[in-house]
Chains A and B, each alone.
Chain A
């Protein structure tokens, strides 16, 4: 069994075997994990259920995080949309609410699915669950979608460690957005090439995104970044479905993601030594927190 490591290899194997991306990915992963495809899909579905529970909890809660830096915004957004429907319709409303719900749950030590990381845990679920509900997507298709997203993240992780400390937020929320774009494109019937193209368009347009969390905590700007990058995934998917292609091939874009991460100063890679963390307010919050915790 070949474990495909690049997008070129993945697309080649898929076309050779006449597979959708999820079919190739699940065959590879079942082999790698030494489990049956059915067992693998059960595990993936367990993760989807946890994503849904997390959103359900997040929507209800107004609890503030330990640090006090986040919490309550998901409620605000829900109340706002109840009174003022979004210009972009109910899908936009749900995606942003769901992304905030998961991200706030994460900050208050609730149970989440790191996808690919905890700080970016709201992005893939926001797209998956909004579509599942709004377009009546079956359990099987939902599983296929998350496997597709997972494969996209896995291919990227061969070149870039998915951690803010390694390559900035482009490797966390950015990659999550790429995964979500691929998932959405699959849900909407996009072919393999369009799925990968969507992921790459999303990634290409967040290159250089830094990781500069205030007080070193996964809250500011991480929580609000989740709804932003969920919507970013939609833009990428729509463009890809329209047949708009990235001029730079997928694997080359991932090389750039890695190189940009290497070029990024450590000050902007999760160390909180610069960026938003070292603004006047960021420093004040840090001092405040030192006394509080």
Chain B
């Protein structure tokens, strides 16, 4: 899926420096991880790869990722001093060189339960690329719904039916699965606000293990 930059993208974001990819992008990755996890975060482990690892400290990437996990936005001037206070979340960092990974990549493990892989692709744009082993591509441009479910016939139509009944337009839809009948993931980008009731209805579909409504990132 290619997404054109909008005019506002070009003259945004308002952010704390110094790097749109290493600082603002890192905050946004943290924010998306928080949305996707959608629960109380007690412990978070960050594995920073390549350029994120080698220039991360000078760019405040470590601070920015954690600030995102705390729900702070990219323009929050507290980011610079985020480690000065205790926010009740344990955090740990690891810095790794791995040329098989994108230049600005991170793996975030939350509460030892969820593993989220993401990368910063430049100009503050980011993509979550994998959640617990499932390939996804969540860029934060749309309000979206992510679900992990058992790969059974009819699930996709059940979900799209629920969405259609609310008169909501689907901007894009992406599915992935491990093996036939195994676990599958579905990512649905919406052209409207996320209705919590809709998310709940999807959650209640039989064989759906996990559902999260992921709000669009602020520009």
Contact = CB atoms under 8 A, between A and B. Distances in A.
Contacts of A25: 7
Interface in B129-183: none
A132 B39 CA distance: 47
B18 A216 contact: no
B24 A114 contact: yes
A151 B16 contact: no
A109 B80 contact: yes
A246 interface: no
A260 interface: no
Contact of A44 (B11, B60, B191): B11
A275 to B, nearest CB: 15
Given A109-B23, A118-B18, A153-B11, 10 more contacts: A33-B6, A47-B11, A66-B60, A67-B58, A113-B14, A116-B123, A118-B19, A118-B124, A121-B17, A215-B55
Contacts of A107: 17-18
A216 B22 CA distance: 10
Give the interface residue-count category, chain A. 35 or more
Interface of A: 3, 25, 28-29, 32-34, 40, 43-44, 46-47, 50, 65-67, 105-119, 121, 124, 146-147, 149-151, 153-154, 157-158, 161-163, 165-166, 179, 215-219, 270-272, 289, 293
Interface residues of B, number: 39
Contact of A32 (B6, B13, B24, B57): B6
17 contacts: A3-B4, A33-B6, A66-B58, A109-B18, A110-B77, A113-B14, A115-B10, A115-B12, A119-B20, A147-B7, A151-B7, A158-B4, A165-B21, A165-B103, A165-B122, A179-B10, A218-B59
Interface string B25-60: 000000000000000000000000001001101111
B77 to A, nearest CB: 6
A166 B19 CA distance: 15
B123 A112 contact: no
B10 A218 contact: no
Contacts of A118: 15, 17-20, 23-24, 124
B181 to A, nearest CB: 40
B195 interface: no
B79 interface: yes
B78 to A, nearest CB: 10
Output the residue of B6, B103, B123 with the most chain A CB within 10 A.
B123
The 10 nearest A-B residue pairs measured at CB: A163-B122, A106-B17, A216-B55, A153-B10, A293-B57, A109-B80, A218-B18, A150-B7, A157-B5, A150-B11
Output the residue of A151, A215, A216 with the most chain B CB within 10 A.
A216
Nearest to A68: B58
Interface of B: 4-24, 51, 54-55, 57-60, 75, 77, 79-80, 103, 121-124, 191, 219
B57 A154 contact: no
Given A217-B58, A293-B57, A50 B7 contact: no
Given A109-B80, A117-B123, A118-B24, A150 B8 contact: yes
Nearest to B4: A158
Nearest to B191: A34
Contacts of B59: 216-218
Nearest to A148: B7
A166 B58 contact: no
A114 B22 CA distance: 13
A46 B122 CA distance: 23
Given A111-B14, A114-B13, A154 B6 contact: yes
A270 B6 CA distance: 24
Output the residue of B8, B18, B54 with the most chain A CB within 10 A.
B18
Contacts of A119: 18-20
Nearest to A102: B17
